[in-house]
Amino acid sequence: MDLFSRSACSFSFMRKMDEEVLNKQVNDSATRAVPITSELRCEITTPAVSGASILSSNGKVGVRGTWNLIDRAEAENVKKIEFHAIDLKSGMEYLMYESQLGVGGKRSDSRVLEFRRPGSFGIQLAVVLSGRYGYYRKYSPYAYANILFPTSLDAMSQFKSMMDRCWGETKITTKEYGFYVYLNGNSNMTIGEIYESEPTNAQGEASFNIERNESIFYRCDPRSPSFTFAVAQFHTHPPLTHASPSYWRMPGPSGIDMGNLPDDIPCLVYDYDRNELEDGKLYGGHKPNIPGTIYTYNGTRRPIN
Quick: pLDDT tens for 101-110.
765 567 899 9
The pLDDT of 82-107, averaged and rounded, is 87
Domains of the chain plus CATH, in order, are 20-148 (2.60.40.10), 152-297 (no CATH)
User: CA 13 → CA 10, 116, 196, 236, 275, distances in Å?
Assistant: 10, 20, 49, 50, 60
Helix or strand (DSSP H, E) at 53: strand 52-53
Provide the 10 A C-beta neighbour count for residue 295: 17
Task: Report yes or no: 302 and 264 within 8 Å, Cβ to Cβ.
Answer: yes
Task: Report yes or no: 80 and 127 within 8 Å, Cβ to Cβ.
Answer: yes
Measured CA to CA, the distance from residue 232 to residue 299 in angstroms comes to 10
pLDDT over 90 percentage in the chain: 65
pTM above 0.85, yes or no: no
| Nearest by Cα to 283 from 252, 235, 255, 242 | 242
pLDDT over 70 percentage in the chain: 85
CB-side exposure of 102: number of CA atoms within 13 Å?
A: 2
